[in-house]
Chain A
Amino acid sequence: MSILTQEQTKKISDRVMSLTKADECIVNIEGSTIGNIRFARNAVSTAGLADDTRVQVQVAFGKKQGTATINEFDDKSIERAVRRAEDLAKLAPDNPEFIPAIAKTAYKPSDTFVQKTADIDPEYRAQAAAYAIEGCRKRGLVSAGFFTDRTSFETVANSNGLFGHQASTSLDFTLTVRTEDGRGSGWVKRSARDVSKFDPREAAEIAIEKALRSVDAKALEPGRYTVIMEPAATSDLLSFMLGGFDARRADEGRSFLSKAGGKNRLGDKLFDSQVNIWSDPWDKDVAVLPWDENMLPRERVELVKDGKINALDYSRFWAQQKNQRAVGAAGNIIMAGTNKTTEELIANTKKGVLVTRTWYIRMVDPQSVLLTGLTRDGTFYVENGKIKHPIKNFRFNESPVSMLNNIEEIGKPVVIGADEARYSMLIPSMKIRDFNFTSLSDAV
């Protein structure tokens, strides 16, 4: 029941539209099937499958809006949701920033669904966990990990005749491998839309190798270092920064993209010329739905071009205020890279620090996007092109703006899901000079 076809959801949205007496009506229908397996201490701890389907009805009388959501689809339930939305709208105060529903739009479909991923079953999940568990048992290591796969659909419709329907699949795998004595820890993360591009054995071997190599870490003095950041290590830092691309915040003086005199930094060169970042719903590796949370069509948007701020994110309200064109908010982030592997970046480094993963990243100062956080599960000292020895973890205080200004070399982009962000990402490994480590952590 959780994954509905276009015909089924069209029927439901038509039913909603026919029932409402409001000036306008917006319908959103979502459903998902999410499977998972979690393991720790070399044994499975939980495994599950969760189904959910719901329809959201949003109506407006003039500038008064109301929203109701329901997970039952019989005629009576649908009608109840419509009436509730209407009742709430009548109770609500006028929204002075009300913008009418989007006009009828044709969405260009994106390639978000892979049947093989939708076919993942409990045996597959158990096997993915088993590779890690068995690999660790054999070597006297301890595994803890999580595999989850998701099949979903979304339908959007409104009383202007807009309609869109699309299904998606995705999977994420994370694995932490620790030595039994707790002196070593390694980690790996893999994200994919197509399960055939995911190799759990390859992933497990990486975490195992990192755990074995990370034993007996030496302390290095905190300070500014050249760092080689694997894609997972920078994904959350970039996500924090990209949140500041909101045009309204920049125009109102509340973002790192605001500047003295009440203007924004659109067109300013803030990063190294090698930096090119864009979003593209139709990208073959990280395709996302061709509409955003407000049903606005997404487009390919060049956010950073040759180091310059090339575009800001305008909500429909703010676009109207500033006489700009609103485009659907980014659902993915793609950063241009090269064909160089992380190993090649290491080989080109005289002295530096290799970072596998960053952790507990928090905003310290939104004015400069100063972030703090720590390295974790595989931090190594590089000398003369080779990993010399593991080092203790560091706390950093660094801004991704400075980081992208200090790029020495860029590697090959890989698909990565950020730990705390909702973007699908295609991010390269990067070699960055003068990265600011401010203290040591004893955590392994």
Chain B
Amino acid sequence: MERRTFLNLSSLAAASVLLPFGRAIAAEELVSTMPVAAKKALADVALNAATKAGASYADVRIGRYLNQFITTRDLNVENVANTESAGVGVRVIVNGAYGFAATSDMSNDGIANAARQAVAIAKANAKLQTEPVQLAPVKGVGDVSWSTPYTKDWRTVPIAEKTDMLIAANKAGMEGGANFMRSMLFQVNQQKYFASTDGSYIDQDVHRLWAPLSATAVDKATGKFRSRDGLSSPVGKGYEYFDARPEHKIKAAGGVATLYTDSYDIVEDARAAGRDAKRKLTAKSVQPGKYDLMLSPEHLWLTIHENVGHPTELDRVLGYEANYAGTSFATLDKLQSKSFKYGAPIVNIYADKTTPGSLGAIGYDDEGVKSKRWDIIKDGILVNFQATRDQAHIIGEKESHGCSYADGWNTVQFQRMPNVSLQPGKARLTPDEMVKGIKKGIYIVGDGSFSIDQQRYNSQFGGQLFFEIKDGKIGQMLEDVAYQSNTQEFWGGCSAICDERDWRMGGSFFDGKGQPPQISIVSHGSSTARFNGINVINTARKIG
């Protein structure tokens, strides 16, 4: 679920008002870092103060969160902002209850005070506690470090180079046929230090990027306008992602679009977006009915996110999100039955926080648990959920899945979705070969509008590009397409999945959950997949 945060971010960026990430800093300050030994000393202050005050367990997160975002409109740079937020969050368990406190005062006294405050909060909470917190064991790993693999640090790339790239993209989009272009560049560096009374001291350096764009074409004579968004993915990579390489470009089935794997040609995609937006003005309106859908990974990631990722979050299953993000149809009894058919037997979906280049890739989660991979749906059957240390025992696991995440040093860590991905098909199959087997279908590329109910049964998805498939061939461009489905029926209708040569990831920078809300990041990989007999509606409307 990408909710208010994204809307706010977009509007804030456009309005050049108070920045949401923290205090703004100049470019040269971005690359300075705090020595690991200094972080360890501060962490020990927190852990010692917490245990001395009565904590049976304590963890501390020392975080420095750096962001830079650039917004452009047509040939203008609207805003460039560097922001920083740094501080310390301490979580404790006292008398079986959690307490949490955070401070931006990184003096020894400031940190010790925060630790004592967390203990006081835990003691107060313990009076209301119905069941004591039960943490799955984690063996301390001592001093370790992890970094996103990257070759080009976004922090060292001159701002002029970045703004030139975005303006070049906007120019290409307008040359391609758009009347209006908008492109943005989100860049994230999270310097996260975690320590706990289990004996772990974990230093991590996380880098992420995203360059969304949107092309809009207007037909002034008719008053009609249409848009096409970029086909890139947000990634856990360095700035080398924008050094587009020919081997990272692939053609969509029928050559209807150029798609990207490990690097991204934003100028090329913007030009195509301008062309596609203009083409959409005269595309054929879809005839509603049942179709076989062929969904590209640039689209399917969002479906996986909404109707597999979210319903298999254990905190939703248990009811902790009932008032806001919702609960789940995938209840505990369905898991325990070991026979709940989530999808067709070819559907294998797994969670993995180790996939290189993914948004969720990390060495250790925010509870010090080492990242790993596990199955969620195996041969179509629900086999597991996503859990944190305090949830693992509920589903009979002996260790956590490593799904704990906080969006800042000042927010408490809780259960968030890992990368959840669809395994490629076992038989050799390309998207072009998949088309040949479809009599009446629609090929959808790119993600559009999305909505799903609070228990994750009924969903509706749009897209960026829609093409008719008739008797094994890709035909004309369609518009006004959205499909509605029930989660179990949708995955039960999965009839073919392309092989690993077609596998790639999409993802979200702003997945919202919790009250007060926090955002998280997550990638979802898949190959192009086919779903039989899905209900397609026509979304064209006339007003006034």
Contacts and interface: CB of A to CB of B under 8 A. Distances in A.
A427 B100 CA distance: 38
A184 to B, nearest CB: 12
A251 B23 CA distance: 36
Contact of B319 (A97, A178, A370, A374): A178
A441 interface: yes
Interface string A158-185: 0000000000000000111010001000
B543 A401 contact: yes
Given A395-B458, A442-B329, A443-B458, A40 B221 contact: no
A69 B23 contact: yes
Interface in B15-61: 15-19, 22-27
Given A270-B544, A365-B539, A395 B515 contact: no
A265 B544 CA distance: 10
A258 B223 contact: yes
Interface string A46-90: 111010001010100000010111110000000001001101100
A220 to B, nearest CB: 15
A397 B515 CA distance: 28
B412 interface: yes
Contact of A444 (B219, B455, B486): B455
A362 B225 contact: no
Given A28-B18, A142-B319, A395-B453, A44 B458 contact: no
A261 B223 contact: yes
A226 interface: no
Contacts of A84: 24-26
Contacts of B320: 40-41, 45, 144
B220 A146 contact: no
Contacts of B77: 92-93, 95
Interface string B192-225: 0000000000000000000000001011111111
A308 to B, nearest CB: 11
A360 B543 contact: no
Nearest to B455: A443
Contact of A360 (B16, B322, B452): B452
Prevailing SS type, chain A contact patch: strand
Contact of A372 (B216, B218, B222, B451): B451
B186 interface: no
A88 B543 contact: no
Interface stretch (B122-130, B138-146, B399-407): B122-130
B460 A88 contact: no
A106 interface: no
B324 A372 contact: no
A69 to B, nearest CB: 5
A155 interface: no
A196 to B, nearest CB: 24
B449 interface: yes
A225 interface: no
Given A254-B218, A422-B8, A443 B457 contact: yes
Given A44-B128, A261-B221, A376 B454 contact: yes
B543 A54 contact: no
A252 B180 contact: yes
Interface in A261-277: 261-262, 265, 268, 270
Contacts of B484: 395, 438-439
Given A43-B129, A395-B453, A395-B458, A30 B18 contact: yes
Given A65-B16, A443-B457, A253 B223 contact: yes
Interface in B396-445: 410, 412
B125 A67 contact: no
A366 B223 CA distance: 12
B223 A259 contact: yes
A91 interface: yes
A278 interface: no
Contacts of B223: 253, 258-261
Given A258-B223, A374-B453, A420 B3 contact: yes
Contact of B23 (A42, A54, A441, A443): A54
A214 to B, nearest CB: 13
A367 B322 contact: no
Instruction: Classify chain A: how many residues form its interface, as a range.
Output: 35 or more
Given A41-B319, A144-B320, A265-B544, A397 B537 contact: yes
B323 A368 contact: no
A148 interface: yes
Nearest to A70: B23
B542 A368 contact: yes
A242 interface: no
Interface in B450-471: 450-458, 460, 462
Contacts of B322: 40, 142, 144, 176, 178
A50 B76 CA distance: 37
A360 B323 contact: no
Nearest to A257: B544
B318 interface: yes
Contacts of B543: 256, 270, 368-369, 399, 401-402
B191 interface: no
Given A54-B23, A258-B225, A261-B223, A365 B455 contact: no
A282 B82 CA distance: 36
B279 to A, nearest CB: 16
Contacts of B460: 364, 372, 395, 397, 439
Contact of B128 (A30, A43, A65, A395): A43
Contacts of B80: 88, 91-92
B246 interface: no
Candidate in A145, A187, A397 with the most chain B CB atoms within 10 angstroms? A397
Candidate in B4, B77, B219, B319 with the most chain A CB atoms within 10 angstroms? B319
A36 B19 contact: no
Given A252-B218, A401-B544, A440-B458, A67 B453 contact: no
B1 interface: yes
A438 B544 contact: no
Contacts of A91: 27, 80, 159
Interface in B217-262: 218-227
Candidate in B80, B82, B455, B544 with the most chain A CB atoms within 10 angstroms? B544
A67 B329 contact: no
A92 B318 CA distance: 50
Interface in A355-397: 359-370, 372-374, 376, 393, 395, 397
Nearest to A315: B15
B104 interface: yes
A222 to B, nearest CB: 10
Contact of B449 (A54, A372, A402, A441): A372
Contacts of B544: 265, 268, 270, 401
B24 A97 contact: no
Nearest to B98: A46
B523 interface: no
Nearest to B485: A439
A43 B159 CA distance: 50
Contact of B453 (A44, A45, A359, A366): A359
27 contacts: A40-B319, A40-B321, A43-B130, A54-B23, A67-B16, A81-B24, A85-B24, A95-B76, A142-B319, A144-B322, A176-B323, A187-B323, A253-B179, A253-B219, A260-B222, A261-B221, A261-B223, A359-B453, A362-B450, A364-B449, A370-B539, A372-B451, A420-B3, A422-B8, A441-B453, A442-B329, A442-B455
Given A36-B515, A42-B130, 20 more contacts: A50-B410, A54-B18, A56-B18, A87-B26, A88-B24, A95-B76, A95-B77, A144-B320, A144-B322, A174-B323, A359-B453, A360-B451, A364-B462, A364-B482, A366-B227, A372-B460, A374-B458, A395-B484, A420-B7, A443-B453
- Which 10 residue pairs across A and B have the least CB separation, nearest first? A443-B455, A260-B223, A253-B218, A144-B322, A441-B458, A443-B453, A368-B541, A144-B323, A146-B515, A176-B323
